[in-house]
């Protein structure tokens, strides 16, 4: 089963509402859709999304160029039944570009799942679960009154876990927004916060100590990604558990975080890590220490990327309850990408072959920039 084509479809899709964090604001969904075809007629679909400006150097344009000019030519002719060789070659062609590589790897695993007639989570070693309680995302664009209204809407839809973006220059606004959500939801809701590496040590310590009164389950990446010593010091200075995300781009990074005792749990975004193989390596390192991983990204994307992260979540024994793969919920109405069922705040990943998302190629072609 050899690769005969790697096609790209750069698209810009509307989203329901602006979604903001300290790393920047999303006003649309900028995704590179990748299609891998093999000589037996099988095809697989992957996706990479540009995300917020402050999170990555890869843009829709660079992802498209890297795939067409570098990755596709090197992968043509490779035998996908030797999956490890194909994935290794993908990561060896050019240093970096994890978002682009993740899109191609998702497409490769989608092909394999269809060829072997298995859902993707089965290829990855699972499933440990078949449904995922989703985490409702609350952006920095929402002030104290608006964030309470939105939290109530999500709760009425069945959500019980929530994540609030923080990291504003006026730290009182962060605290008041969290206060508004807790007062709206009551004591039963689980609330996380995400600082997107925006705080200094002094400010992070002050903000998290104040937020502890609201029973915060954990604070994601309050400090800069490379300063593990300060992150470890902060972890011991506050009562709120610390989650590392931007600090972890590989298994080596995960090991460094754990050796420094800089976090209580780690977050895995499939595109930030660079695909399934590297995500599983990180989860294995973290699991060996008896710690959980959080899976998923809330940035706008199609159901392709969200389904891929759901299958990863289902396949990992140490995946923390509560998945953050909610980007597909931010898209406006569209009939290009197949749906993911969501009922009462829970997602039910498609368990057909591959990641389970069907793509209408003709309609997709009309969306290409």
Q: How many residues are given for the chain?
A: 369
Of 252, 345, 299, 353, the closest CA to residue 47 belongs to 299
How far, rounded to the nearest angstrom, does the alpha carbon of residue 19 sit from its chain's CA centroid?
A: 15
What is the spatial distance between Cα 301 and Cα 327, in angstroms, rounded to a whole number? 5
Known active-site residue 173: no
User: Annotated catalytic residue: which of 267, 269, 289, 317?
Assistant: 269
**With 0-12 CB in 10 A as exposed, 13-18 as middle and 19+ as buried, what is 169?**
exposed
Q: Which residue has the tokens 């990855």?
A: 124
Q: How far is CA 201 from CA 38, 206, 221, 237, in A?
A: 51, 9, 11, 10
Contact of 354 with 111, CB cutoff 8 Å? yes
What is the spatial distance between Cα 259 and Cα 357, in angstroms, rounded to a whole number? 39
What is the spatial distance between Cα 330 and Cα 301, in angstroms, rounded to a whole number? 8
What is the spatial distance between Cα 290 and Cα 144, in angstroms, rounded to a whole number? 37
For residue 18, the SS3 value is coil
CA dihedral 162, 307, 7, 1 (to 10 degrees): 150
What is the spatial distance between Cα 17 and Cα 12, in angstroms, rounded to a whole number? 15
Helix (H) or strand (E) holding 253: helix 251-259
For residue 352, the SS3 value is coil
SS in 3 state form for 80-141?
CCCHHHHHHHHHHHCCCCHHHHHHHHHHHHHHHHHHHCCEHHHHCCCCCCCCEEEEEEECCC
Q: Which residue has the tokens 């009562």?
A: 239
Known active-site residue 165: yes
User: Annotated catalytic residue: which of 165, 229, 267, 361?
Assistant: 165
Q: Hey, which residues are catalytic here?
A: 165, 269
């Amino acid at each position: 089963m050899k690769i005969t084509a790697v096609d790209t479809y750069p698209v810009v899709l509307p989203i329901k509402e602006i979604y903001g964090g300290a790393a920047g604001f999303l006003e649309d969904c900028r995704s590179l859709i990748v299609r891998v075809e093999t000589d037996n007629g099988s095809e697989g679909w992957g996706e990479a999304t540009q995300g917020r400006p402050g999170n990555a150097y890869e843009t829709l344009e660079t992802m498209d160029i890297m795939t067409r000019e570098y990755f596709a030519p090197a992968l043509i002719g490779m035998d996908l039944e030797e999956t490890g060789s194909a994935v290794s070659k993908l990561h060896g062609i050019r240093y970096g570009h994890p978002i682009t590589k993740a899109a191609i790897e998702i497409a490769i695993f989608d092909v394999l799942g269809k060829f072997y007639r298995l859902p993707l989570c089965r290829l990855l070693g699972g499933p440990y679960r078949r449904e995922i309680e989703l985490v409702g995302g609350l952006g920095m664009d929402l002030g104290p009154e608006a964030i309470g209204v939105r939290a109530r809407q999500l709760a009425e839809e069945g959500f019980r876990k929530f994540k609030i973006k923080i990291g504003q220059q006026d730290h009182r606004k962060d605290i008041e927004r969290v206060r508004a959500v807790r007062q709206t939801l009551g004591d039963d809701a689980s609330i996380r916060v995400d600082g997107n590496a925006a705080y200094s040590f002094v400010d992070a310590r002050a903000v998290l100590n104040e937020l502890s009164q609201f029973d915060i389950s954990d604070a994601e990446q309050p400090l800069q990604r490379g300063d593990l010593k300060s992150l470890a010091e902060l972890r011991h200075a506050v009562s709120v558990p610390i989650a590392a995300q931007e600090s972890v781009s590989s298994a080596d990074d995960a090991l460094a975080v754990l050796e420094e005792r800089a976090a209580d749990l780690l977050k895995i975004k499939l595109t930030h890590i660079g695909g399934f193989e590297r995500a599983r390596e990180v989860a294995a390192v973290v699991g060996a220490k008896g710690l959980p991983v959080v899976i998923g990204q809330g940035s706008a994307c199609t159901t392709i990327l969200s389904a891929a992260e759901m299958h990863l979540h289902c396949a990992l024994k140490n995946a923390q309850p509560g998945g953050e793969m909610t980007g597909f919920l931010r898209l406006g109405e569209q009939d290009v990408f197949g749906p993911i069922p969501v009922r009462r705040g829970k997602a039910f990943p498609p368990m057909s072959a591959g990641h389970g998302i069907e793509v209408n190629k003709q309609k997709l072609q009309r969306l290409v920039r």
